Amino acid sequence: MSKIAIMGAMREEIEPLLAQVENLNRVEYADNTYYEATYKGKEIVIAYSKIGKVFASLTATILIEKFGCDKLLFSGVAGAISPDLKIGDLIIADSLCQHDLDITAFGHPHGYVPEGKVSIPTDKALREVAKQVAKQNGLELKEGIIATGDQFVASVDRKSFISTTFNAHALEMEGASVAVVCDALKVPFFILRAISDSANDEADMDFDTFLESSAKISAHFILDMVEAIE
């Protein structure tokens, strides 16, 4: 039977999961807490990484290499780039890129380093499960490119750069680093985000206001997916 990792970046992103799961067992490891649990008979391991690409890479690696997870689902919030994404809307990544990875001084494209990839696709089968769950629950699910960077974006200029350079629909601070880890370790992965703000000059206030409610929307959807995964 498969063991499913569920990751968030912040405590608020995993608390709604911990409230719903059974047989919780806390494991302290590498300066973090991992929660082994079951949900509807499925084995899962839950953790939040802390914010940013480095912490997210560490946590994703540990979930796979130490806990033996063979699928990884990320649940959390994002800033909207597309004007049709409103607070609370759900978006799944079909691929992810690192908007702050920049060695353009050497003639390389934004988001690229030699032997790396600008864009990493998520697992198609998991995306299909998400679409089926959305349909069953009458929920709208957007799909698009998610751009990741070690910056909280609260500027229309930065947001337009990310939009035009990467054609991205939403942005956050962990997805692409999880993608790098899962791609290298050949573990199917899925990134879901509910919108908390529009990455503009009101983003900090919106984020504080909507973090909890949007994180809950994402977490509840992820649990429905765990149930639906074969």
Catalytic positions? 13, 197
Question: In terms of CB distance, is 63 or 211 closer to ligand ADE?
Answer: 211
Question: In terms of CB distance, is 46 or 176 closer to ligand ADE?
Answer: 176
How far is the C-alpha of 169 from the C-alpha of 10, rounded, in Å?
A: 22
Q: How far is the CB of 214 from ligand ADE (least distance, A)?
A: 8
Tell me: does residue 223 bind ligand ADE (CB under 6 A): no
Greatest pairwise CA separation for the chain in angstroms: 52
Binding track, positions 192-221, relative to ligand ADE; x by CB under 6 A: ----xx-x---x---x--------------
> Which single residue brings its beta carbon nearest to ligand ADE?
79
How far is the C-alpha of 142 from the C-alpha of 20, rounded, in Å?
A: 25
Question: In terms of CB distance, is 16 or 79 closer to ligand ADE?
Answer: 79
Binding track, positions 127-166, relative to ligand ADE; x by CB under 6 A: -------------------------xxx------------
Question: In terms of CB distance, is 77 or 90 closer to ligand ADE?
Answer: 77
Ramachandran region, residue 52 (left: φ > 0; alpha: ψ -120 to 50; beta: rest): left
Site for ligand ADE in 26-85 (CB under 6 A): 77-79
Cβ atoms of 187 and 71 closer than 8 Å: yes
Cβ atoms of 178 and 188 closer than 8 Å: no
Question: In terms of CB distance, is 122 or 214 closer to ligand ADE?
Answer: 214
Q: Which of 76, 70, 40, 41 is CA-nearest to residue 56? A: 76
Q: How far is the CB of 141 from ligand ADE (least distance, A)?
A: 18
**199 vs 77, 127, 160, 210, CA distance in Å?**
12, 25, 10, 13
Question: Using the rule CB under 6 A, which residue among 172, 180, 221, 223 binds ligand ADE?
Answer: 172
SS3 letters across 32-100: EEEEEEEECCEEEEEEECCCCHHHHHHHHHHHHHCCCCCEEEEEEEEEECCCCCCCCCEEEEEEEEECC
Q: How far is the CB of 67 from ligand ADE (least distance, A)?
A: 26
Tell me: does residue 173 bind ligand ADE (CB under 6 A): yes
CB atoms within 10 A of CB 165: 15
Tell me: does residue 191 bind ligand ADE (CB under 6 A): no
Do strands 71-80 and 189-197 pair parallel, antiparallel, or not at all (unpaired)? parallel
Q: Number of residues in contact with ligand ADE, rule: CB under 6 A?
A: 14
**Positions that interact with ligand ADE (CB under 6 A):** 77-79, 152-154, 171-173, 196-197, 199, 203, 207
